[in-house]
Structures are given as C-alpha cells and as structure tokens.
C-alpha cells in the first residue's frame, strides 16, 4: 500500500471559481476598513504624544525645584519666577487631568464617532504637550540667565 495518496486536484471551472471567490473574500476581509485604520492611527498618535510629554514630567519637577530655590532680584522679578513655576505645575496638572479623563477603550460602537473622540483627544494631548514644552523652555531660560 502506498504511504501517500495523491490529493484530488480541482479540475472543473466551477470548483476553481469557488476557490477564487473564497480567496478574494479572505483578501477583502483581511483588509481593514478605512475607519479602523484611522482609529488605530489616532490611537497610536495619542500614545506617542502622551509618552513624549510624560517623559518630561520628572524633568519639570527638577526645574520647578531649582526655580523655587532661586532668589528674586532686579534681573529676575518675583512675578516672572512665580509664573514659570506655575506654568510647570499647570502642565503637570493638565497631563494628569487628561490621563484621568481619556478612555482607551472604544467610546462608541460606531467607529466614526469613536474616531471623532480620538481626534478631540489628540488635540487635547497636543495642547498639553505644547504647554509642557513652553513651560520647560521658559524655566530653562530663567535658569540659564541666573
């Protein structure tokens, strides 16, 4: 007896047609729709912006501590020093406030609604990132001038 039996090959056009149809359906199902791709891209952008800004939190605390140890003077008015410390603190508060309200799971079964939520959240975390960068730049300028 033979160890291997030959596989039956598809010989008729009808059988091949079903096979090709099945392959096309699998290919179409494998391609995600544009809304799903956009959703994934938005989630990725949000995470990237958040992670980049979050990595600066420790540095902001260090800058804040150094600013608090400075003495105001003619070159460094107390109000400028206070504004810089406040900006660092505000950036920190805004980051944690954003993190507390952000929903990582789907907000709606309708991907177009979820994508709208993600676009709004991306704008919010980008604003936090800009505030973080601005506060850091100001604090560094004060410390360099001292």
Asked whether residue 137 is domain-assigned, the answer is yes
Residue 120: which domain range? Answer: 33-145
CA distance 104 to 65: 33
Measured CA to CA in angstroms, residue 145 lies from 11, 61, 65, 138, 142 at distances of 84, 19, 16, 11, 5
CATH of the domain at 95: 1.20.120
Asked whether residue 3 is domain-assigned, the answer is no
Q: How many domains, the chain? A: 1
Per-residue pLDDT, 104: 87
Q: How many residues does the chain have?
A: 146
Q: What is the pLDDT along the chain (146 residues), one digit of tens a residue?
A: 455 545 554 455 455 555 555 555 544 454 568 999 999 999 999 999 999 999 999 999 999 999 999 999 888 999 999 999 999 999 999 999 999 999 988 777 889 999 999 999 999 999 999 999 999 999 999 999 87
- The label of the residue with tokens 């990582």 reads 104
């Amino acid at each position: 007896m033979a160890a291997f039996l030959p596989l039956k090959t598809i010989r008729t056009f009808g059988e091949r047609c079903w096979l090709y149809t099945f392959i096309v359906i699998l290919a179409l199902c494998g391609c995600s729709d544009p809304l799903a791709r956009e959703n994934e891209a938005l989630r990725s952008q949000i995470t990237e912006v958040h992670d980049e800004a979050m990595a600066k939190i420790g540095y902001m605390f260090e800058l804040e501590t150094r600013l608090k140890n400075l003495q105001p003077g003619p070159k460094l008015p107390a109000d400028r020093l206070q504004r810089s410390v406040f900006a660092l603190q505000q950036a920190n508060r805004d980051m944690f406030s954003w993190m507390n309200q952000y929903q990582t799971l789907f907000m709606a079964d309708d991907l177009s609604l979820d994508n709208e939520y993600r676009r709004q959240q991306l704008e919010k975390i980008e604003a936090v990132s800009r505030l973080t960068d601005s506060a850091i730049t100001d604090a560094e300028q004060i410390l360099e001038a001292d």
